[in-house]
Amino acid sequence: MATFNGKYVVWGVNGITATGFMTTGDEPVMDYQSVSVSNTSDVAEVKNGDGDVSLMVFSNHNREASIEVVPSGTSLDVVQGDIDELMPIPGTIITLGESDAHLTTLDGETGTVKEAGGAGMWSYMSGELTRSNDAEARISMVLKQYAGCDLDATLTVGS
């Protein structure tokens, strides 16, 4: 627990939740280590006759979340099962939430997610498991949201 003197700051990652890793049963147990969110767009630059950029067109607005977790559990078998679940196939919809209503970076309506139904919904893009001889196993995940992509309309094709 931290004690603050002076100004208010957002501290730590306590209160963040992620669901959608499993279709049935309990979600994997994980201890959040870090979360970062970035927003970006594609940019087309138009140059004038002097070769200087005179116009920029921004499109394809999107946000990316990078999350690092430590899988944990009551036994090694449970943890190994959670590791498998925490690395789903790309395209899996993961819903992120924050317990503090004032913090809406992960689950609020933003310029990228325009309808409330899509708030907090992210597409799982990739994951990486890191293991070493002198540290716990960690999983890093990359999740994305696109302004023009309705994550409520998910369709699985093929078998």
**Quick one: tokens of 15?**
């209160």
pLDDT of residue 33: 92
CB 59 within 8 A of CB 41: yes
Q: What is the pTM of this model?
A: 0.78
pLDDT of residue 87: 87
H or E element at residue 148: none
pLDDT of residue 134: 95
Closest CA to 41 of 64, 56, 60, 55: 60
pLDDT of residue 86: 85
pLDDT digits (tens, 9 = 90+) for 49-61: 999 999 999 999 8
Q: How many CA atoms lie within 13 A of 155 on its CB side?
A: 5
pLDDT of residue 157: 55
pLDDT of residue 140: 95
CB 112 within 8 A of CB 63: yes
Q: How many CB atoms lie within 10 A of CB 30?
A: 25
pLDDT of residue 156: 58
Which residues of the chain are under the pLDDT cut of 50?
A: 159
Closest CA to 152 of 125, 113, 126, 101: 113
pLDDT of residue 24: 58
